Amino acid sequence: MSNHLEGVLAGNEDNYLLPFFWQRGEEESVIREEMAHAYDSGIRAVCVEARPHPDFLGPR
């Protein structure tokens, strides 16, 4: 068995899923709840995407 496979079977895998996390001006509590759901699903990294946000590149 390869070292990589042994690591995965032991629960020591890397991030193989890096979903986009779209920002649309949600409250912080909503963002934290969504991040918790992602974490509970085994997702350990996301790509934050804010372009549809009305304040994209603004002070918020």
Over range 49-55, report the average pLDDT. 69
Asked if residue 51 has pLDDT above 70, the reply is no
Handedness of CA 22, 26, 29, 34 (dihedral sign): negative
pLDDT level of residue 22 (50, 70, 90 thresholds): confident
What's the mean pLDDT in 41-45? 85
The distance between the two most distant Cα atoms of the chain, rounded to a whole number of Å, is 52
- Is the pLDDT reported for residue 43 higher than 80? yes
The full set of domain ranges for the chain reads 3-49
This prediction's pTM = 0.58
| DSSP symbols for the chain | --HHHHHHHTT--------EEE-SS--HHHHHHHHHHHHHTT----EEE-TTSTTTTS--
